[in-house]
Amino acid sequence: MEKENIIKTLKKEKIPIMGTCAGMILLAKETDHKQPLLGIIDMKVKRNAFGRQRESFEEKIRILGKEFNGIFIRAPAVTKTGPGVKILSKLNNKIIAVKQGKNIALAFHPELGNDTLIHEHFIKEVI
């Protein structure tokens, strides 16, 4: 099965998806760049909202009521959310994590650190 068909099946079957960084962009309904989008989360995303590759950084953020080390690499940010979208975290007034239904979108890379907080939360949402 082609990758595109797998994502369309997940969307059709309403199977929860977690998107990080470029995944956040793909989950959006709208972005500042013309590209195909999945439109799963009612949000508009700005690509490279924190700068280019050389401006990548790590920063302590608050998410799910706890401190978390966010790793931002050419990170996007959410510029607009629709009804039903819950903001999970902001950094410098930029939205960096959202949730709609059981779908989660993150501007940073939780998979690059050792803290499993966000992955554990996602698994609990799925079950």
User: Which residues are the active-site residues?
Assistant: 21, 109, 111
CA 75-76-80 angle, 5° bins: 155
Instruction: For 24-50, give one letter per residue: b (16+ CB within 10 A) or e.
Output: bbbbbeebeeeeebbebbbbebbbebb
- Pairwise CA distance, residues 47 & 121, whole Å: 25
Cα torsion 56, 61, 63, 68: sign: positive
> Scanning the structure block, which residue is given the tokens 């989660």?
104
